[in-house]
Chains A and B, each alone.
Chain A
Amino acid sequence: MKFGVVVFPGSNCDADCFYTAEKVLREEVEYIWHQNNHLPAVDALIIPGGFSYGDYLRCGAVARFSNIMPEIVKFAENGRLVLGICNGFQILTEAKLLPGALLRNDSLKFICADVYLKVENNNSPFTNAYQPGEIIKMPVAHGEGNYFCDPETLAGLKNEGRILFTYCGPEGESAAEYNPNGSLANIAGIVNKQGNVLGMMPHPERCAETILGGTDGLTLFNSICGWLRKADSK
């Protein structure tokens, strides 16, 4: 199994994602530079967090027009797995692979904190190793994580089970005080219609080892590996 980690100028979680794939999951992994015109043979793509192109204009707006993006879009349209974390989520919405947009946090502050999440749907390539409704803890670190979309899109996301993670309290309480950024419907992570593209603001790669303070993020990567292995053996 092989992961690809896309690197834009300004990506800064690429090494963490690479490390998780190589040292924690013990799978193959390769960096993919944004100027490349083709993708190597990989089973899943990670678009890491950071500040691609300095967040100029809007977060993710400039990355969308880099050389590698049409290849990523093709990869996604072929049903292959794409995981966008933080800035990666912002890039995926700008590239229209995911609906909606990420606005400035309602507090106007950059938030760097551990937050609780509820696994709203564990029937996905990204969440199948979690328990239904499991409450997990992951770090967030962003200034623009306030998810927004129009009411029809939100209804679609809800009805189709496309909201995988929501912000919540330690006991799973859904309340404004546990929503760190003002996100619509407490949304922390969503998938596309086909379910093969996930965008999320929290950082699973920052909690994939006990020494990092938790392994709730590892479960997400284990879900991906399990799903790919199962798909492979079919």
Chain B
Amino acid sequence: MKANVYVTLKAGVLDPQGETVKRSLHLMGNDDIEEVRIGKFIQIKMRNQGLEQARRQLEEISDQLLANPVIEDFRVELAEGE
């Protein structure tokens, strides 16, 4: 089964990379862009198992390693099969 984990900086944590990209987008003429936040997208392939169990495991590994809860939030997306 496959999973996608999205790791993003918490609201209130400054994202200088996002700010720089936003400035660049403004320079390109995209005045309507109000905010840019940059995060990580992690693709995971794992052995098939119950959805609930897989989700629990993915949330655990996201909390322990994939994201740092002090500064980041994460979201797990799970797809069975394939």
Q: Interface residues, chain A, CB within 8 Å of chain B?
A: 57-58, 61-62, 64-65, 93-94, 99-101, 103-108, 146, 148-150, 182
Contact = CB atoms under 8 A, between A and B. Distances in A.
B13 interface: yes
A104 B65 contact: no
Interface stretch (B14-22, B25-33, B47-55): B14-22
Contact of A108 (B16, B66, B70): B16
Nearest to A58: B68
A58 B69 CA distance: 12
Interface residues of B, number: 10
B44 interface: no
Interface string B41-82: 000000000000000000000000110101100000000000
Contacts of B16: 104-108, 182
12 contacts: A58-B68, A93-B70, A99-B70, A100-B70, A101-B68, A101-B71, A103-B13, A107-B16, A108-B16, A108-B17, A108-B20, A148-B70
Contact of B14 (A58, A100, A106): A106
Residue from B13, B65, B68 with most neighbouring chain A CB atoms (10 Å): B68
Contact of A182 (B14, B65, B68): B14
Contacts of A150: 70
A108 B65 CA distance: 24
Given A99-B70, A146-B14, A148-B71, 5 more contacts: A57-B66, A101-B70, A108-B20, A148-B70, A182-B14
Given A105-B16, A108-B17, A182-B16, A149 B68 contact: no
A64 B70 CA distance: 15
A101 B70 CA distance: 7
B13 A148 contact: yes
B65 A65 contact: yes
